[in-house]
Amino acid sequence: MIYLKWKLSTDGVSGTGPEGEIDDRGGHAEAGWAVDSDGYRIGYLTTTAALTGLETWDVTTQTEAQALTFCQQFYGDAEVLPDGRISSPLPDDE
């Protein structure tokens, strides 16, 4: 699994993510659940593609440890699952 960190195109809180652009390049990216107060989120690159020219979203690669640490800020029990994704908190029962 390749881990990415990015923000949304408009002020980090709204707008588009880089998923469409990455798909257009033959790759596949998926947004994860963890988002910090600056609008940065962890995502997953499941099919590789060139990551140059994605400055609009400030895309950077992350190690597994960096991605896990990012997610653990919001959910201390987060762990890397067998498929490489990072576990999220269970939804509240309502």
Q: How many domains does the chain have?
A: 1
In a domain, 90, yes or no: no
In a domain, 85, yes or no: no
**pLDDT on residue 83:** 96
Q: For the whole model, what pTM was predicted?
A: 0.88
**pLDDT on residue 38:** 87
Residue 50's alpha-carbon distances to 5, 15, 83, 86, in angstroms, are 15, 22, 22, 23
In a domain, 81, yes or no: no
Number of residues that this document lists for the chain: 94
In a domain, 88, yes or no: no
Residue 6: which domain range? 2-72
Contact (Cβ atoms closer than 8 angstroms) between residue 34 and residue 43: no
In a domain, 23, yes or no: yes
Successive 10-residue mean pLDDT values, the chain, 94 residues: 91 82 96 91 95 94 98 96 94 61
In a domain, 8, yes or no: yes
In a domain, 83, yes or no: no
